[in-house]
Amino acid sequence: MQHYVKGFSKLSKEEKINWITTTYFTNSEAAKDILLNYLNSDDSLQKLHDEFIENTLTNFYLPYGVAPNFTINGKSYTIPMAIEESSVVAAASKAAKFWGERGGFKTTIINTEKIGQVHFLFQGTAEKLSTFFNQIKPKFFSDTADITKNMEKRGGGILNIVLKDKTHEIGNYFQLHATFNTKDSMGANFINTCLEQFAKTLEQQALEYADFTEDERAVQIVMSILSNYVPNCLVRAEVSCPIAKLSESEVIDAHEFAQKFATAVRIAEIEPYRAVTHNKGIMNGIDAVVLATGNDFRAVEAGVHAFASRSGRYSSLSHVSIQDDIFTFWLEVPLALGTVGGLTSLHPLVKFSMELLGKPSAEELMQIVAAAGLAQNFAALRSLTTTGIQQGHMKMHIMNILNQHQATKEEKQKVLDYFKETTISHSLVVDYLEKIRK
């Protein structure tokens, strides 16, 4: 059955909820209760949330946790993480403590360049367009002076604009490829506003250019938009220590562990099926911090995975070297992040996260996020190459299973006690719970 509603966006929230619950749910009152239970009791705070997006019905909560004991470039951090997956926060915290006792994380900003493009069609030769572009290039800067003046006061602005010929891929297709520094803001609105002005300038100047034919003057703007692929907005995070200090127990020899760990990383470097899961683990750490700090995790995900494919084959973001008995583990990731603008001054928990981190600059936040990603990757690979991933993960996941089956407090304790030293799986937990109940 097709359900169509006219003017849904103009309905009040109550009317929206009523239509949704009565149209799609057999028990409309129970469905309505779910939505109402997740509304904030503070009306002003709920109004703030309602205005973040359109057609808001309620709030969708994720757990907000912290990973303490991170040492990054000699500075101590407790890192906020918003994520629903069991064991991520625990793993990051454990890795942070492990490396904190071995010198901590060393991070470096490689570059902070961001990119935007004006895509357009031109009915003429590349040589003629290039001559025109070089003549009018200063006009792009002067026509955006009012837009860029505040950013330039903060040390940012437009870095460069180049003309790119893409006609070998699509007929008559060219780009204005612009680079920007947006300082502490993610800069999407700033970049897009500049690009739209570039497009207007390009169109107007082409109409007035005497050496163009009538067809050449009719430059067709296709679109003007920033790119979330920012390979030159790059941060490096690394950890290192003598191999002898890698082992915390007698379960595995330190040198054996180092070689096994390095092999696991090299497999992810050459095997895309493994690399995707390997990098997903890195993004468990990265996304959780990006989300907690009010940044755009979809943009970060898209850019990072494109970066992982830059050689033509999808590969690991992290790498290992073992030289002179020194184990070094590192990653380089592109991260276009902001600490001003967007939700950073609006969302109370985002503001809390920023204060928790010491009100970092965008560059400092890039380094914190990269360290979280590396910590998560180290923790996952250490588990995979020693005890196996499921032992720790299922211990964290067991509470979800018990809640799913509405276990009482007493039942939970009995199950947790039983599985302290026993293999855990969903079916085994359910079977034991049923045995208790009988």
Q: What are the pLDDT digits (tens) for 360-389?
A: 999 999 999 999 999 999 999 999 998 765
Helix, coil or strand: residue 201: helix
DSSP per-residue string spanning 320-354: EEEETTEEEEEEEEE----SBSGGGGT-HHHHHHH
Q: Domain ranges in the chain?
A: 8-50, 64-109+234-387, 114-227, 393-437
For residues 433 and 438, what is the distance between their CA atoms, to the nearest angstrom? 9
State the pLDDT at residue 276.
98
- Rounded CA Rg of the chain: 27
The predicted pLDDT at position 1 comes to 65
In eight-state DSSP terms, residue 139 is H
CA dist., res. 296 & res. 307, Å (int) = 17
Q: What is the reported pLDDT for 386?
A: 87
* Helices 13-24 and 28-37, axial angle in degrees (round to 10): 140
Cα–Cα distance between 423 and 420 in angstroms, integer? 9
Edge-to-edge, what's the strand order for the sheet holding 318-323? 106-109, 234-242, 326-334, 318-323
Q: For residues 347 and 349, give the distance between their C-alpha atoms in angstroms, rounded to a whole number.
A: 6
Per-state percent for the chain, helix, strand, coil, to nearest 5: 50, 20, 30
Give the span between the Cα atoms of 287 and 305, in whole angstroms: 13
Q: Are 96 and 375 in contact (CB under 8 A)?
A: yes
pLDDT at 423 over 90: no
Whether the pLDDT of residue 410 is over 70: the answer is yes
The percentage of the chain sitting over the pLDDT mark of 70, rounded to a whole number, equals 96
Catalytic residue among 139, 177, 280, 412: 280
Active site annotation includes 280: yes
| Residue-averaged pLDDT of the chain | 93
pLDDT of 352 reads 96
394 pLDDT more than 70: no
Query: Quick one: pLDDT band at residue 409, thresholds 50, 70, 90?
Result: confident
DSSP designation for 105? B
Catalytic choice (16, 119, 347, 393): 393
User: What is the per-residue pLDDT across 427-436, written as a single tens digit (0 to 9) for each?
Assistant: 878 887 888 8
Strands in 73-218 per DSSP E: 75-82, 106-109, 114-121, 157-165, 173-181
Predicted confidence (pLDDT) per residue in 82-107, tens digit: 999 989 999 999 999 999 999 999 99
Q: What is the mean pLDDT of residues 45-67?
A: 95
From the list 196, 238, 296, 364, the catalytic residue is 296
Distance from CA of residue 324 to its chain's centroid? 35
Answer CATH for 64-109+234-387 from 3.90.700.10, 3.40.190.10, 3.90.770.10, 3.10.620.30: 3.90.770.10
Mean pLDDT of 399-418: 80
Architecture of domain 114-227: 2-Layer Sandwich (3.30)
Q: Is 393 a catalytic residue?
A: yes
Q: Is 13 helix (H, G, I), strand (E, B) or coil?
A: helix
For residues 398-426, give the mean pLDDT: 77
pLDDT at residue number 232: 96
Alpha-carbon span 10 to 58, nearest angstrom: 17
- Closest CA relative to residue 124, chosen from 37, 216, 38: 216
Are residues 372 and 96 in contact, defined by beta-carbon separation less than 8 angstroms?
A: no
pLDDT of residue 411: 79
Q: Is 85 a catalytic residue?
A: yes
pLDDT of residue 387: 74
The values of phi and psi at residue 161, to 5°, are -135, 125
Mean pLDDT, rounded, for 347-361: 96
- pLDDT-wise least confident of 59-68, 232-241, 341-350, 387-396: 387-396
Closest CA to 426 of 387, 400, 407, 389: 400
The first and second tokens of residue 161, run together, are: 């604009």
- From 13, 49, 50, 85, the catalytic residue: 85
Query: What is the Cβ-side half-sphere exposure of residue 264, based on CA atoms within 13 angstroms?
Result: 21
What pLDDT is recorded for position 392?
55
Nearest to 289 by CA among 183, 365, 393: 365
Q: Which residues contact 71 (CB under 8 A, 6 or more apart)?
A: 77, 96, 99, 100, 103, 104, 105
Percentage of the residues of the chain whose pLDDT score is greater than 90:
83
